[in-house]
Amino acid sequence: MERKTHIDAFGAASLIGFSALLGLNQVLIKIVNTGLQPVFQAGLRSLLAFPVILIFALVMRRRLSMSDGSFWPGMLTGLFFTSEFVLLFLALDYTSVARTSIFFYTMPFWVAIGAHFLLPDERLTGVKIVGLLLAIGGVVLALSQNDAPASPNAFIGDIMCLVGAMLWAAIALTTRATNLKNATPEMQLVYQLAVSGPLIMVAALFFGPFIRELELHHWGIFSFQVVVVVAAGFSFWFWLLSKYPTANMASFGFLAPVFGVAFGWLILSEPVGPRLIIALFMVGAGIVLVNMRET
């Protein structure tokens, strides 16, 4: 398959499917949290996904090198990745999937703000500023009321998601602004998994017993996360990146929070009121505008 200059029907269907997988993933994490301690689940997922990604990269003959100046920035993104996923998995213990989807997928806005100061070629434009304002309004609206919190600490979970989104953005900015951009996408993920797996497992020691009310279905869902979401899903994402324009792919980013809210309502029966729907629309519109290229 040759590299495309636009998103064709196959590319669009693939990106929609990947966004649905990301939205579903947060539901799966929340379900497994009832059987495994959240931080332990995050660390175990990284540990198990690491060899799968490594084998994929070797089989596909992707370049895996630490001699291209990417080592130290790769280690830094590993630390960001560690903190991001500790916060995300803990947040899903406190707040709903629907709210997590809105707050966590504000990542493009933090990237846009950081890029304005760090990357000369990616200054904020009028359209992007409107997108940022829409997104900020959506976040404020969603934070202003939580009619059916998942726990008494729901607001803390919401803030954890926002900070996690900022750390996710820090990974993207580090990749663009340092020699890490010389590494293949697979090598970038190898750095993140290699660092996060051991560190998160150590962190898990401070968050209580590893096992909660563990049942067989928890292991099945967890295995699905490791094999399908992390290994196959992100490997497929890397393949799509090699075939389609990155800027065009980014415009599909608004679908992930939409699917997250939908799956939270469908599978977990989470309440989705008018306020959350309006907030989701504002954040989704903001994502589209932030990723829009002015001509």
251 in a domain, yes or no? yes
Range of the domain at 95: 9-290
Q: What is the pLDDT of residue 148?
A: 62
**Contact present, 86 and 200 (Cβ < 8 Å):** yes
Instruction: Say if 103 falls within a structural domain.
Output: yes
pLDDT value of residue 215: 94
Would you say residue 4 lies in a domain? Answer: no
In a domain, 79, yes or no: yes
Q: Which of 142, 144, 41, 20 is nearest to 92 (CA)?
A: 41
Name the burial class of residue 52, with classes exposed (0-12), middle (13-18) and buried (19+) by CB atoms within 10 angstroms of its CB.
middle
Q: How confident is the model at residue 160 (pLDDT cuts 50, 70, 90)?
A: very high
**Residue predicted with more confidence, 217 or 148:** 217
Q: Are 268 and 27 in contact (CB under 8 A)?
A: yes
Tens-place pLDDT, residues 189-241: 999 999 999 999 999 999 999 999 999 999 999 999 988 888 788 778 777 87
On the question of pLDDT at 55 being above 60, the answer is: yes
Say what percent of the chain tops pLDDT 90: 49
* Residue in the block written with tokens 């990284």: 46
- Which residue, among 220, 267, 189, has the nearest Cα to 36 in the 3D structure? 220
Residue 186: predicted pLDDT: 86
Alpha-helical (H) ranges within the chain are: 9-32, 38-59, 71-94, 97-104, 107-118, 126-143, 154-177, 185-204, 216-224, 234-243, 246-250, 255-268, 274-290
Q: Mean of the per-residue pLDDT values for the chain?
A: 88
pLDDT in tens, 236-260: 877 787 677 766 676 677 788 999 9
Q: To 5 degrees, how large is the angle CA 280–CA 122–CA 74?
A: 85
Predicted pLDDT of residue 247: 62
Name beta bridge partners: 211: 36
Which among 27, 23, 174 is positioned nearest to 105, based on CA atoms?
23
| 85-93 average pLDDT score | 96
Determine the average pLDDT of the residues in 59-71.
89
For position 176, what pLDDT does the model report? 85
Residue 6 has pLDDT above 80, yes or no: no
| The pLDDT value given to residue 108 | 85
Q: How many domains does the chain have?
A: 1
pLDDT at 62: 84
Give how far the C-alpha of residue 234 lies from the chain's centroid of Cα atoms, to the nearest Å: 11
Q: List, for residues 272-295, the tens digit of each pLDDT value.
A: 888 889 999 998 888 888 877 665
Q: Answer yes or no: is 56 within a domain.
A: yes
Tokens 């990155």 identify what position? 246
Task: For residue 2, tell me if it sits in a domain.
Answer: no
Give me the long-range contacts of 50-57 (CB less than 8 A, separation at least 24): 50/190, 50/193, 50/194, 50/197, 52/226, 52/227, 52/230, 52/231, 53/186, 53/189, 53/190, 53/193, 53/230, 53/231, 53/234, 53/235, 54/190, 56/186, 56/231, 56/235, 57/184, 57/186, 57/187, 57/190
Confidence grade of residue 128 (pLDDT, cut at 50, 70, 90): confident
